[in-house]
A and B are shown apart, each in its own frame.
Chain A
């Protein structure tokens, strides 16, 4: 499949209306903007990095607790959510494409689909969080280790669904759930902010602001959205898939 390259603009400066006076050329402005967004994403890598290290440490220290706690999460919901977010990212990427080829209607549709799938992701998360609330798995005063000390019996086999944990190890499941909520919560916060920005971008795209050569906000938002997607790509296996192999 041949790559499409942009038509090279004639080099006397054709400035889009959004050109900022302190830049000499359009290209300089766009490259600076993109570079700036990447630097911001670097700060996000380091921001989440602290949480990832905490996860690494406590998974190593309290592996049995992490296994049992992780199995409380619903793999189906997690996997579907992963697919939903990947799809959202796909639409965002297409949005960037349509902005670059100056197709206003398609750009708006792509942004709308990005938002819909983003909201779907958050909806599933709300459902998951609610389930945690009901089972007393939210860290803090209401946290209960009951399910881990006395695991529920599987109806079909008559066997416990999980290995029972000693009380002190069972207590450490709280750390798993804390990390679960902190990491997915921080991720969800970034998604919410992203959806807010998407609303603004949809409104402006509809006006035609981004299909006249000025694609930087769409491109740069795309970078942010894909980064948030990448964080989830790591969160999913680390939180949901610690040890899903069937019990021996």
Chain B
């Protein structure tokens, strides 16, 4: 493949650019689908908030919808679906560290002062 030859000539494998992501252009139609989904998601969130669900289901559903929306923005609007493994790993690391902050701090609070004071 022309691309492969390009790689070998300039860049011995596993060196400067270990894996090139094909420069993929996301189409406007894909963007429109994501756009629509985001609006629908917003509507669902608002409607779900009007219903009293058992236990902690309300915030769980709200966060689940928010996470889904964030995912499709990241994957499509921000092109991460078509990016190199490095970028994908980087995004994952960011959320991982955020979770470490939340979880490890919660470790303290849940074991001494959780719930209504």
Contact = CB atoms under 8 A, between A and B. Distances in A.
Interface of A: 1-6, 8, 11, 24-25, 27-28, 31, 34-35, 38-39, 41-42, 45-46, 49-50, 52-53, 56-57, 60-64, 75, 79, 82-83, 86-87, 89-90, 92-94, 97, 100-101, 219, 222-223, 226-227, 229-230, 233-234, 236-238, 241-246, 248
Given A46-B98, A83-B39, A93-B31, 14 more contacts: A35-B90, A39-B90, A46-B97, A49-B102, A60-B114, A79-B46, A90-B35, A93-B34, A97-B31, A222-B78, A223-B78, A233-B69, A241-B49, A243-B49
B62 A27 contact: no
8 contacts: A5-B22, A8-B2, A25-B10, A63-B116, A234-B70, A237-B45, A237-B62, A245-B58
Q: In the complex, which range does the number of interface residues on chain B fall in?
A: 35 or more
Contacts of A83: 39, 42
**A contact face: mostly helix, strand, loop, or mixed:** helix
A226 B78 contact: yes
B101 interface: yes
A47 to B, nearest CB: 10
A62 B117 contact: yes
Contacts of A234: 63, 66, 70
B50 A28 contact: no
Nearest to B61: A237
A218 to B, nearest CB: 12
Interface in B45-103: 45-46, 49-52, 58-59, 62-63, 65-66, 69-70, 73-74, 76-79, 83-84, 86-87, 90-91, 93-95, 97-98, 101-102
Of residues B34, B35, B113, which shows the largest number of chain A Cβ atoms within 10 Å of its Cβ? B35
A234 B42 CA distance: 11
**B contact face: mostly helix, strand, loop, or mixed:** helix
Contacts of B9: 11
B32 to A, nearest CB: 8
Contacts of B76: 93
Of residues A38, A94, A227, which shows the largest number of chain B Cβ atoms within 10 Å of its Cβ? A38
Contacts of A223: 78
B33 to A, nearest CB: 9
A153 B104 CA distance: 43
Given A35-B86, A83-B39, A75 B46 contact: yes
A236 B43 CA distance: 12
Nearest to A76: B46
A56 B102 contact: yes
B17 A101 contact: no
Interface in B1-44: 2-3, 6, 9-10, 16-17, 20-32, 34-35, 38-39, 42
Given A1-B30, A3-B27, A222-B78, A86 B39 contact: yes
Q: List 6 A-B pairs, minimum CB-CB distance, nearest first.
A: A245-B52, A241-B49, A237-B62, A42-B94, A90-B35, A11-B6
A223 B69 CA distance: 15
A156 B56 CA distance: 31
A61 to B, nearest CB: 5
